[in-house]
Structure 1
Amino acid sequence: MPFTHDTEVALAEAAALVNTLGDDGDSLETRAGLDAFLARYPFSGRVTGDAEELRTVRRLRERLRAFWAVADRDEAAALVNALLADCATSPYLSKHDHYDWHLHVTHPDAPLGMRIGAEAAMGFLDLVRSDDLDRLRTCAAEDCSDVLVDLSRNHSKRYCDTGNCANRAHVAAYRARKRTSA
């Protein structure tokens, strides 16, 4: 099932936020780390730049990681509902910058963590409704625990976007084939 642009962006942002705490450490330890994340994944609305905002986004990251460990749609739906309630969602249509009409689910003055959480919840909501939770995966590389969202048409994505996991795996497979044929 093809997803809307909003859903794909929300899921990619959620995975990217979860992956800020990975095998290489925590890239959100400082405000500069959050600024770098927001430069890559911009959110409209207010950004305070204070320590509480950073703490809130870091706590949200742990809540989002739970979606990659759900056992079934019922569990995922409960997580979505709790996140939507905690983020004080209030959906409305918006048109800004170079984007046509699209859905925002929190007020632009809501805290950044609430806006990120609400957008992520809406993305996960679509996965629950379409029974596509199997699109939430962990990287297939043995030395990587990053998460990914497989939005490919044939459900074939196996490696994360954060490192060179796919390239390393393909090179290793190529070298193994060469050793076997030699």
Structure 2
Amino acid sequence: MLFEKKERKISRKQQTYKAFREKLEACENAVHLRWSKFQRNATLLKRQLTWQFNGHLKKKGISGQIRVSYEEQTLSLEVKMPQDASNNSVRDTRGLSGGERSFSTLCFALALHEMTEALFCAMDEFDVFMDAVSRKISLDAIVDFALAHGSQWIFITPHDISMVKHDERIKKQQMAAPRG
């Protein structure tokens, strides 16, 4: 009788173990599936970010890409200037002029903003070190982007904003120059 009681207890424990083992395998399969989806999405997001970044750079005749390493937790920008006949990309933004660096950073911000859902964005002196032509291209790109996406942008700049196009959804506020 004691033997049968112990045998029933062992049988129940084996059934419980089998049920737990099945649940564990189901969880492991779900984790594996989620991990593979995460890796696929991470790869697609890297491609999309580079594609968006390069698309914004092309407005000025520049090409580039973004290298993302999830393992090393790094992100680097590579920019190829059209006047560079050596076919070398600038891998460190310190190798760019101030205006080129500002424009590349702006293109990176636009690429990121395109992949997120932010209702507004504020940029302070985004056009620092840019010449008039680059500033015009940058302002046009940002304004067109904001109008197309329906987001609100606030720009703070000491430079002239008279070249910003007029639209019913654009409001320009210019402060008086400080007295010296």
TM-score in terms of structure 2 length: 0.30
- Relative contact order, higher structure (CA 8 A, sep 6+): 1
TM-score in terms of structure 1 length: 0.30
